[in-house]
Structure 1
């Protein structure tokens, strides 16, 4: 007997990681590679998601919805730098260079209703993204919503300024549609983060299966 399957899907379906080639700025992706030279009919010759190694890092989940004592942030809410700082204080955490930071908006509670999930989602603001990438030095930023950032855009000149800033200007990959409800329920805010995307040559994203392993509490001397 034999059974076999075939898969055809958009690379940004479900929980996934955006490669640095997903969005560029002024015709160039991260490291100044121009699309005119390096993007062909078989994908990117530079910056493809197959270049990403497995991610093994400290993970931090910031529950922004709980910070505001809400099950879910309001439609279109834009997460600010102050939200990040207040959430860190509330959860008694400090960010470290190389962290993977995941933001909970609560929007994943609508995931089974696609139209409601995608309608006016809350997301990360540009000022907060700059704090995470520049001041905190995090390695990866993710969230439980559709496109990480909130819409409409903060800038008239760029309809996805958070994407272009993180990917094209800072070299910070993005994780989208991360399921954070169980972590929030158990109040697990710090963990070992392990994930590896499919090595799709030349692709600008890949499906990702993240694993969060809670850290054991440190023993206290008496």
Structure 2
């Protein structure tokens, strides 16, 4: 499931590579990645979002987070040894009989449960839930994505709490958008998942190859492995997850 470096929103500065001095003996290069956002496959961890001055488990932001040192608690270092667990794919595009789910469509609890009935899978504790709406397939067909998201709706939150996966995943940002009636809230699904439940997030994943294999095999659960960059104090990390069938 490789990341796709082509930007859709806020292109400038998403990824920059500079090749240094080229000599007869070789060269080096520098990478600069602004991975949080809507384009780069990445992980969000507990110190990425706050509510009322607190992180998950009531950890106060004040005294725990500084510009110079990042997060003292709740950083990506909690995952530095990597993730090796079961992934459960929720192919909502197939469920709805479309190539992709149109941006702005809320994905509801009923959709997740209908897919479980159809595919015979069910996410549980420790799993990685992967929601597929065909974001990258749509991009290849009709052009850059503009900001609206077919993402998890608010009524999926009790479902997440009941299942308690280790990660909630998506091929876009996990929050549905636009959110009529919720305009004053910044990414409410992020806040609920990270701050209320302690579930981490993997998003903007390119799931196309995994989906094609899952459909061919008619198997929607498989091994997933990924490891973040072990950045002290980091709020997340770019990722390149591997799906093993």
Q: Same fold (TM over 0.5)?
A: yes
CA distance in 1, matches of 2:42, 2:57: 22
**Which ranges in structure 2 are unaligned for 5 or more consecutive residues?**
1-24
2:236 counterpart of 1:205: yes
2:120 is paired with a residue of what secondary structure?
Answer: coil
CA distance in 2, matches of 1:103, 1:129: 14
**Which ranges in structure 1 are unaligned for 5 or more consecutive residues?**
215-222
CA distance in 2, matches of 1:2, 1:20: 40
2:181 counterpart of 1:150: no
- 1:94, distance to aligned residue in structure 2 (A): 2.1
CA distance in 1, matches of 2:99, 2:157: 23
CA distance in 1, matches of 2:212, 2:229: 29
CA distance in 1, matches of 2:186, 2:28: 42
CA distance in 1, matches of 2:61, 2:121: 40
Q: How many residues align?
A: 212
- 1:87, distance to aligned residue in structure 2 (A): 0.6
- 1:8, distance to aligned residue in structure 2 (A): 1.4
| C-alpha contact (below 8 Å) 2:164/2:199 kept by paired residues | no
2:134 counterpart of 1:106: yes
Paired residue for 2:22? Answer: none
- Please, which of 189, 205, 211 is the counterpart of residue 162 of structure 1? 189
Cα 1:96/1:22, change in 2 over 3 Å: same
- Please, which of 61, 64, 77 is the counterpart of residue 50 of structure 1? 77
- How far does the alpha carbon of each residue in 1:44-79 deviate from its partner, in whole angstroms, 9 at most, with x for none? 121111221411111111101110001111220011
Paired residue for 1:219? Answer: none
CA distance in 2, matches of 1:84, 1:192: 20
Paired residue for 2:89? Answer: 61
CA distance in 2, matches of 1:46, 1:114: 42
2:231 is paired with a residue of what secondary structure?
Answer: coil
Paired residue for 2:28? Answer: 4
CA distance in 2, matches of 1:35, 1:95: 32
Paired residue for 1:36? Answer: 62
Give the aligned CA root-mean-square deviation in angstroms: 1.9
| C-alpha contact (below 8 Å) 1:193/1:213 kept by paired residues | yes
CA distance in 2, matches of 1:87, 1:113: 25
Paired residue for 2:156? Answer: 128
